[in-house]
Amino acid sequence: MSKLVLRFAPSPTGLLHVGNLRTALLNALLARRAGGTFILRYDDTDTARSTAEFAAAIARDLEWFGIVPDRVEYQSARLDRYEAAVAALKAAGRLYPAYESEEELTLRRGLQRSRGLPPVYDRAALKLTDADRARLEAEGRRPYWRFKLEPNPAIWEDGVRGPQHVDMTSLSDPVLVRADGTFLYTLTSVVDDLEFGVTDIIRGEDHVTNTGVQIQLFEALGGATPRFAHHNLLTLPSGEGLSKRLGHLSLQSLREEGYEPLAVAAISVLVGTSEAVAPVESLDALAARIDLSHISRAPARFDPAELSALSARTLHQMPYERVAGRLADLGIGGGEAFWLAVRGNVSRLAEAQAWWHVISRSACWGRDPQDAAFLESAAALLPEEPWDAGAYRAWVGALKTVSGRTGHSLFAPLRIALTGQAKGPELAALLPLLGRDRVLARLRGVDG
Ligand code: GLU
């Protein structure tokens, strides 16, 4: 089998949201799993709405997940290629000029509907003579160009949806070149997919009809048609569709809220499939769980509450090596022992900072007078370092015997004296991190 070449083709007209991420990751991770190529293609021919800032934000978003494309392309830099394709389509008689205004077309569609006919473009422009065209252009009309569809249905085996069929006679001949000479995505995408040797197009199911048209374009331009897979779309919990324009669930906002990228990736890929939405330990582990045929047909609700829980669970099982750099960036020391002690008690990585301050900064939380004597004996019984799990057990055992306390009345005062908190990581793990001097000082109610 030939090497997989996949692509993600956003238009840089807004911030990516989790639905865009689903498309991006299905492509990036399947390419990665197969040792193929992943292309990031900016569909930026709409110069009025595309910006360099949004393009940079897209690259930054992908990088947050550790996705670095093998190749990056900008459609705005490839206009000569589209020009050449247009010339070829004109030469083949598949592209014809049309002059109707939007108002004229709307009127015509209304008439068709009132007669019970489908509102499909009637190809009136194909009947124009040279003289008609000259007259229209003399009136100041500029032509735009429609692709003449063949009537035979477009048929393909979809990676998600199985056998697909689009009735081309129900579609209007699509405009590929606007009157101002700019190209439409329907054309530019096919030209690029052909030239870059894209083997599989994985995208949202909002493109199913486009696929019918684009299959005819692949054929008209004389290239191999890729395989297609159309995944279901993600929605807000209310069921409302996600909008880039309205800034729904943008990756940037999720990053700012401190969610784990691996959890955002896992939920975006796994929700709305027959796979369980569960923590993964790496992108490769997530890639291993992708099966296009396990994606369901119904839209999938993206629930931020589910993300929150998944993000916490992802941290709870995160190995130290995977988080060491980020802990250092947050000014957190303590190495692996610190991380293993606190990871089960944080739902956002930044929360580890507060625990690091408990460990590393001198503090005193005072003592409840009722516990003063108990804490004094705890200090007196504290063994010499080094402390292992056995030393901790022996210390607690001795305290129990001396004080007669058990359970909450034994542990709560120790925890509050040592950390200032009623809840937190295992004391057995915290003690060696605090060290003997600090533990002694805090048990005695003095700064340490
Ligand atoms: N720019 C198109 C979009 O964002 C790309 C669709 C495709 O993958 O072909 O919807």
CATH value at residue 37: 3.40.50.620
Q: Are 357 and 392 within one domain? A: yes
> Residue written as tokens 């988080």?
323
Residue nearest to atom 10 of ligand 1 (CA): 10
Alpha-carbon distance of 62 to 12, in angstroms, equals: 13
Query: How far apart are the CA of 80 and the centre of ligand 1, in A?
Result: 20
Nearest Cα residue to 281 out of 326, 317, 335: 317
Of 321, 344, 379, the residue that ends a domain is 321
Of 293, 321, 349, the residue that ends a domain is 321
Check: CB of residue 265 under 8 Å from CB of residue 21.
Answer: yes
CATH number at 303 reads: 1.10.1160.10
Residue 176 lies in a domain: no
pLDDT value at residue 318: 96
The residue whose CB lies within 8 Å of the most ligand 1 atoms, and thus the one to mutate among 187, 207, 231, 243, is 207
Q: What ligand 1 atom has the least distance to the C-alpha of 11?
A: 1
How confident is the model over 296-348, as pLDDT tens digits? 999 999 999 999 999 999 999 999 999 999 999 999 999 999 999 999 999 99
Task: Spell out a b/e string for 414-446, using b for 16 or more CB atoms within 10 Å of the CB, else e.
Answer: bbbbbbeeeebbebbbbbbbbeeebbbbbbbbe
Q: Are 328 and 316 within one domain? A: no
Q: Are 305 and 337 within one domain? A: no
Q: Are 337 and 429 within one domain? A: yes
pLDDT band at 360 (very low <50, low <70, confident <90, very high): very high
For the segment 209-231, the average pLDDT, to the nearest whole number, is 97
Query: How far apart are the CA of 10 and the centre of ligand 1, in A?
Result: 6
Q: Are 308 and 209 within one domain? A: no
Residue 177 lies in a domain: no
Residue 244 lies in a domain: no
Check: CB of residue 43 under 8 Å from CB of residue 278.
Answer: no
Residues near ligand 1 (Cβ within 6 A): 9-11, 43, 185, 189, 203, 207
Q: What ligand 1 atom has the least distance to the C-alpha of 210?
A: 9
Q: What ligand 1 atom has the least distance to the C-alpha of 20?
A: 4
* Parent domain of 39: 5-80+182-234
The secondary structure of 110-159 as a DSSP string is HHHHHTT-------GGGG--HHHHHHHHHTT---EEEE---SSPEEEEET
Q: Are 46 and 194 within one domain? A: yes
CATH number at 424 reads: 1.10.10
- Residue 165, strand partner residues: 155
Q: Are 285 and 215 within one domain? A: no
Domains identified in the chain, total number: 3
pLDDT value at residue 364: 87
Alpha-carbon distance of 434 to 156, in angstroms, equals: 64
Share of the chain above pLDDT 90, in %: 96
Residue 281 lies in a domain: yes
Alpha-carbon distance of 89 to 92, in angstroms, equals: 5
Q: Are 367 and 301 within one domain? A: no
Query: How far apart are the CA of 9 and the centre of ligand 1, in A?
Result: 5
Query: How far apart are the CA of 177 and the centre of ligand 1, in A?
Result: 17
Query: How far apart are the CA of 290 and the centre of ligand 1, in A?
Result: 21
How confident is the model over 160-206, as pLDDT tens digits? 999 999 999 999 999 999 999 999 999 999 999 999 999 999 999 99
Residue 100 lies in a domain: no
Alpha-carbon distance of 25 to 27, in angstroms, equals: 5
Check: CB of residue 419 under 8 Å from CB of residue 358.
Answer: yes
Q: Are 220 and 295 within one domain? A: no
Residue nearest to atom 4 of ligand 1 (CA): 10
Residue 382 lies in a domain: yes
Query: How far apart are the CA of 50 and the centre of ligand 1, in A?
Result: 14
Query: How far apart are the CA of 207 and the centre of ligand 1, in A?
Result: 8
Q: Are 353 and 430 within one domain? A: yes
The alpha carbons of the chain give a radius of gyration, in whole angstroms, of 31
Residue nearest to atom 3 of ligand 1 (CA): 10
Q: What ligand 1 atom has the least distance to the C-alpha of 8?
A: 8
Of 299, 321, 343, the residue that ends a domain is 321
Residue 362 lies in a domain: yes
Q: Are 186 and 76 within one domain? A: yes
pLDDT band at 1 (very low <50, low <70, confident <90, very high): low
How confident is the model over 408-432, as pLDDT tens digits? 999 999 999 999 999 999 999 999 9
Check: CB of residue 70 under 8 Å from CB of residue 103.
Answer: no
Alpha-carbon distance of 296 to 151, in angstroms, equals: 31
Residue 138 lies in a domain: no
Q: Are 198 and 301 within one domain? A: no
The residue whose CB lies within 8 Å of the most ligand 1 atoms, and thus the one to mutate among 43, 75, 78, is 43
> What is the helix (H) or strand (E) element at residue 255, kind and residue range?
helix 251-256
Q: What ligand 1 atom has the least distance to the C-alpha of 203?
A: 8
For the segment 223-251, the average pLDDT, to the nearest whole number, is 93
How confident is the model over 387-402, as pLDDT tens digits? 988 999 999 999 999 9
pTM over 0.75: yes
Residue nearest to atom 5 of ligand 1 (CA): 9
Query: How far apart are the CA of 73 and the centre of ligand 1, in A?
Result: 14
